[in-house]
C-alpha cells in the first residue's frame, strides 16, 4: 500500500487507528487455548471485529518469535487474515550493517509482503538504506519513543539540539514522505508541535495511547497535518478489552470508540 492509498483509507474510514496485535497466550480467553492455533484464532476474531474501524495493523514480532516455528506460522496466518485495504506493519525494530539489513528488508517486504517495518537508526545510513530501496514500502524509524528509557539517549542535549531532533532531521534527508515514517510516542504529546516543524509532511506512528496513558486529543491537536499524517496505535486497550466469550465484540467496541473520536479530529 502506498501513501496515497493509505490516505484514501483514512478518508473512507474516517480513522487513523492502528490495532497492535501483541498477542500473548497468557492473556487470551481460556476457551481459545483448546484450539490448534489459539494465537491465530484470537487474532482472526480481533481482526474481523476491528477492521471496520481501523486502517492499519501492527504485528509485534517478539510476541510470535517467542514460540519458535509455531509462532511464525501463527504470524503468517494472521497476515493472510488482514483485509487487503489495511496497512500492515512489522514491528520488528530491525537495523544492522548493510548486507544484514538487506536480508531483513527482503524477508519482510518480499517474503511476507508487509507494507512497513520499524527500524532502529542507531547504526546509521547503511543500516536504514536497504529498506528505503523498496517502492511503495515504508521504513518506520524510531524517533522519540514512549518508554521511560527514552530519556537515556534520545533526550540528551547536543550542540544542534536534542539527540532525537538530530536523528529526525538527518534521516528525513535519506528518503521522502512516500517511504519514511517515524515512531513518536503518545506520551511525548507536548513535543508534537516541535516535531511537525521538522517533519511537516511525514506520517508518524504513535504508540502509547490507552494503557500507557497517552492522550489521543493532544496527539491529534498537535500532530495532524493536511493528509492526517498519523497512525495512532492501540494494542492492549483494544485486544484485551475482555477476557470472556465476548472478547472480539469488546475489542470492536473499543476500536469503534477510538474511531468515533478520531472522526471528530479529522473534521476539525
Q: Which of 69, 72, 119 is nearest to 93 (CA)?
A: 119
CA 199 → CA 40, 83, 157, 168, 186, distances in Å?
A: 37, 30, 20, 8, 16
Residues paired with 214 in a beta bridge: 209
Task: Return d(Cα 60, Cα 62) in angstroms, integer.
Answer: 6
Compute φ and ψ for 109, nearest 5 degrees: -95, -30
Active site residues per annotation: 93
Cα angle: 199, vertex 82, 91; to 5 degrees: 45
Q: Are 206 and 230 in contact (CB under 8 A)?
A: yes
Q: How far apart are CA 212 and CA 186, in angstroms?
A: 8
Nearest-Å Rg of the Cα atoms of the chain is 18
Q: Torsion-angle region of residue 49: left (phi > 0), alpha (psi -120 to 50) or beta?
A: alpha
Query: How many CB atoms are located within 10 Å of the residue 99 CB?
Result: 9
Q: Output the DSSP codes for 224-260.
A: -BTTB-EEEEESHHHHTS-SSTTHHHHHHHHHHHHHH
DSSP bridge partners of 205: 183, 231
CB 76 within 8 A of CB 100: no
Amino acid at each position: 500500500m502506498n501513501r496515497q492509498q493509505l490516505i484514501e483509507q483514512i478518508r473512507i474510514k474516517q480513522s487513523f487507528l492502528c490495532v497492535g496485535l501483541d498477542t500473548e497466550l497468557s492473556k487470551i480467553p481460556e476457551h481459545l487455548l483448546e484450539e490448534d492455533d489459539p494465537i491465530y484464532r484470537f487474532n482472526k476474531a480481533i481482526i474481523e471485529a476491528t477492521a471496520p474501524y481501523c486502517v492499519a495493523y501492527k504485528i509485534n514480532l517478539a510476541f510470535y518469535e517467542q514460540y519458535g516455528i509455531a509462532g511464525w506460522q501463527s504470524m503468517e496466518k494472521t497476515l493472510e487474515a488482514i483485509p487487503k485495504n489495511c496497512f500492515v506493519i512489522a514491528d520488528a525494530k530491525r537495523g544492522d550493517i548493510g548486507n544484514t539489513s538487506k536480508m531483513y528488508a527482503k524477508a519482510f517486504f518480499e517474503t511476507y509482503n508487509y507494507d512497513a517495518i520499524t527500524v532502529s537508526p542507531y547504526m546509521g545510513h547503511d543500516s536504514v538504506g536497504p529498506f528505503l530501496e523498496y517502492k511503495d514500502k515504508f521504513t518506520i524509524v524510531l524517533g522519540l519513543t514512549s518508554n521511560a528509557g527514552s530519556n537515556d539517549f534520545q533526550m540528551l542535549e547536543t550542540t544542534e539540539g536534542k539527540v532525537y531532533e538530530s536523528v529526525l532531521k538527518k534521516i528525513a534527508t535519506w528518503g521522502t514522505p512516500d517511504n519514511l515514517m517515524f515512531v513518536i510516542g503518545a506520551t511525548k504529546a507536548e513535543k508534537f508541535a516541535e516535531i511537525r516543524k521538522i517533519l511537516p509532511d511525514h506520517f508518524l506512528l504513535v504508540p502509547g495511547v490507552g494503557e500507557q496513558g497517552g492522550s489521543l486529543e493532544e496527539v491529534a491537536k498537535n500532530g495532524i497535518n493536511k493528509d492526517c499524517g498519523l497512525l495512532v496505535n492501540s494494542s492492549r486497550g483494544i485486544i484485551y478489552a475482555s477476557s470472556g466469550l465476548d472478547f472480539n465484540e469488546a475489542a470492536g467496541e473499543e476500536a469503534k470508540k477510538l474511531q468515533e473520536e478520531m472522526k471528530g479530529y479529522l473534521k476539525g
